[in-house]
Structure 1
């Protein structure tokens, strides 16, 4: 992995391939390893960059009182440092919330975006009651002793986790830092970025698992309705982590979009 320092934080990232750049922004309780099948598949045509957000993977811990705006500012600064021009960004779940906030604060760094199984924040897409319930569940999980602590959020896959990526999922879960998990998911629970959706003026591809239980298709339809010109692709028999549950269809959708808008 390589590192770059932005806003006083050391951020780690994977970079591979050659061609137009595309930056991948992982979901909550993950790190850049969650994009392994995308790095492997798309590096034949693109320079693929996947960050470890602050507090994840090889990146430095999040400071106290770190919030959504700080994640977004770090992402924008990393894009400027590594790419130096507007770039395509791909986000999953919590990563879409970070991208939308980065676009709101730094629109010049985004050329186009792919938003997969995402949210305009939990509060924005699911409502206050569900957002508060999810955050309470997170706090309960974090209160468990070490031998019972499981950072895995429920409802990530339509069926059993894909056997091919089971070791990867276990490795990412083992490296979760409790303070970082609470910081990111608190920001997710508090965020309402619905007002950002109609302001998007860059090409946008939406990708959703048809059986996503965490961000249901009703959220996807609202994104499609609110984001001007957005196109929605739904992957059958697939849940929330669509890039791992259906990497073939996911990769082809991203590749096709980047051919036109990368």
Structure 2
């Protein structure tokens, strides 16, 4: 199923299906299509909503985790999402999901993190982006996955084009540095909602030790690992990812109901 993009209220987003809301947040080099398999699987039972985060074109003074959280807050208000919903985030999207939950505890009923930043990440920021070097960009994009072939030419071309834009590079670097500064280790104990952590055992950007630390610090966390899987489990191991997600949504259904 091809994702249908909507443009309303100044936002670009996907809004598929009906039922309880799943709000999906992609990573720094991510795209709406990263969640394609989740939309395909869950839009029959849930309303799956994915905002396109303005990582490449937001005002430079706002290019950071707080600015992106504010963007999500504005999006939720503009789309009049219900009072309580489930938030899923991959990589930087997980970081945004965590801060959004800390800022809006009454809005988030459940949290799903996969390859999330917020505690530690071996980011592309140190030696990346390297302009004009296609082979290097291809190698770094492939580094995201256990199987480098997941990094299609289309995906590599997209990142290569980004790295050749000064304005986009400035925003990427600003956001990456902001993510590294905003360590959430001392705040995670305040997140009381059920949390599912789905991690690639072969994630080299946020390694398995990071997943164990999230599990230790989040009061209601359950951790699931996927072998032969890197930094984006919902893309690389979609069937297994969706199975864990559905099981979690089913077992925490009561906890997700709004309080009366």
TM over 0.5: yes
CA contact (8 A) 1:161 1:245 kept: no
Q: Which residue of 1 aligns with 2:149?
A: 161
- Structure 1 stretches of 4+ with a deviation exceeding 4 A read 146-149, 151-154
**Correspondence 1:85-234 to 2 at 5 A:** 85-120=83-118, 124-125=119-120, 134-138=124-128, 141-142=129-130, 144-145=131-132, 150=137, 152-153=140-141, 155-162=143-150, 166=152, 169-170=155-156, 172-173=158-159, 176=162, 177-234=168-225
- 1:101-135 per-residue CA deviation (whole Å, 9 max, x = no partner) reads 11222222211110111121xxx325xxx66xx53
Distance of 2:113 and 2:204 partners within structure 1: 17
Instruction: Give the C-alpha shift of residue 243 in structure 1.
Output: 0.9
- 1:135/1:189 contact within 8 Å kept: no
Q: Per the alignment, in what secondary structure is the counterpart of residue 113 of structure 1?
A: strand
2:85–2:110 CA contact under 8 A, matched in 1: yes
Counterpart for residue 30 of structure 1: 30
- 1:218-257 CA-to-partner distances (Å, cap 9, x unmatched) read 1111111110020001112211111111000011111222
CA contact (8 A) 1:24 1:49 kept: yes
- Comparing 193-202 and 74-83, the one that deviates more: 74-83
CA distance 1:125–1:146, shift in 2 (3 Å): closer
Total equivalences in the alignment: 241
Instruction: Say if 2:113 and 2:197, in contact at 8 Å, map to a contact too.
Output: yes
Q: CA–CA distance in 2 between the matches of 1:172 and 1:257?
A: 33
Asked if structure 2 preserves the Cα contact closer than 8 Å seen for 1:34 and 1:168, the reply is no
1:87 and 1:99 mapped to 2: Cα distance? 12
Instruction: Tell me, yes or no, if structure 1 residue 247 matches structure 2 residue 238.
Output: yes
Calculate the TM-score normalised by the size of structure 1.
0.83
Q: Tell me the C-alpha RMSD between the 2 structures.
A: 2.4
Following superposition, the deviation at residue 90 of structure 1 comes to 0.5
How far off its partner does 1:35 sit?
A: 0.9
TM-score when scaled to structure 2? 0.83
Q: Measured at CA, do residues 185 and 106 of structure 1 come closer, stay the same or move farther in structure 2, by a change above 3 Å?
A: same
Task: Say whether residues 1:12 and 2:12 are aligned partners.
Answer: yes
CA displacement 1:170-200 (0-9 Å, x = unmatched): 4643664434322322222222111221111
